[in-house]
């Protein structure tokens, strides 16, 4: 288990666009936000636009 302040491991993560991303792909960025959501949930469906807008640069 990681402790606060530990570096995150460079693990592969499949995305909805069919690509595989790794933490190293985002080197030099200030922050990385990964959102896991349940797309068939009515609450998530209602909030998806708001969340997407908040995460866009």
Pick from 2, 8, 48, 37: nearest CA to 25: 8
pLDDT tens for the chain, 57 residues long, are 889 999 888 989 898 889 999 989 988 888 777 777 777 778 777 777 777 677 666
Domain regions of the chain by residue span: 29-57
Output the pTM of the full model: 0.51
How far is 31 from 21, CA to CA, in rounded Å?
15
Give yes or no for a contact between 47 and 38, defined as CB atoms under 8 angstroms apart: no
Query: Would you give the distance in Å from CA 28 to the centre of its chain?
Result: 16
């Amino acid at each position: 288990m990681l402790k606060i302040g530990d570096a995150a491991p460079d693990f592969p993560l499949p995305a909805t666009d069919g690509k595989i991303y790794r933490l190293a792909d985002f080197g030099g960025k200030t922050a990385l936000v990964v959102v896991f959501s349940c797309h068939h949930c009515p609450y998530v469906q209602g909030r998806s636009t708001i969340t997407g807008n908040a995460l866009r640069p």
